Amino acid sequence: MSGERDLARLLASLQVTARDGEFVFVSRPVADPGLAALSEASVREDEGVTYVLPRAKADALRLSYDFRAAWLSLGVHSALEAVGLTAAVATALARHQIPCNVLAGFHHDHLLVAAERRDEALAVLSALSALSVQASAR
């Protein structure tokens, strides 16, 4: 199934959900199979591997981290080649000084925002979608 490419449709149909709990970023210079098994996402970089873990798991392992995040999922199936969705949501959050880290999956994009700003981020993204619905109705 191919995803939506039209930005106006993507924004108008945007539904954002939040996963339970908090998430943290942990980095290792080389791949760590144990952390990989516990992680919700990982990214391999030249400097090493970044794992996104539930905070509770990181705390249980006494791992250090700096940023506590809420995990928001954009409930719209965007095509991988769609243009503008990431920019639109990041810009809306930036206007409110809400930090946002983006992970793209095959079916959905995911935002890791400052945990203490979770509800505000949800409200900002809901307003973005509502404005897009109003604009498309004109």
Q: What is the pLDDT of residues 118-129, one digit of tens each?
A: 999 999 999 998
Neighbours of 19 (CB within 10 A): 14
Does 2 reside within a domain?
A: no
Residue 69, domain extent = 7-137
Number of domains in the chain: 1
Helix (H, G, I), strand (E, B) or coil at 42: strand
> For position 135, what pLDDT does the model report?
59
Does 114 reside within a domain?
A: yes
Q: What does the pLDDT average to over 51-63?
A: 98
Between 11-20, 40-49, 55-64, 65-74, the lowest mean confidence (pLDDT) is in 11-20
Does 55 reside within a domain?
A: yes
Helices 118-137/85-95 angle, 10° precision: 120
Q: What does the pLDDT average to over 69-84?
A: 84
* pLDDT, tens digit (0-9, with 9 covering 90-100), for 1-27: 577 787 778 888 888 999 999 999 999
Does 69 reside within a domain?
A: yes
**Position 34: which residue type?**
G
**CATH number of the domain enclosing 31:** 3.30.2130.10
Does 83 reside within a domain?
A: yes
Q: Residue 85 — very low, low, confident or very high, per pLDDT cuts 50/70/90?
A: confident
Does 1 reside within a domain?
A: no
Q: Are 23 and 52 in contact (CB under 8 A)?
A: yes
Report the predicted TM-score, pTM, of the whole model to 2 decimal places. 0.88
> For position 9, what pLDDT does the model report?
83
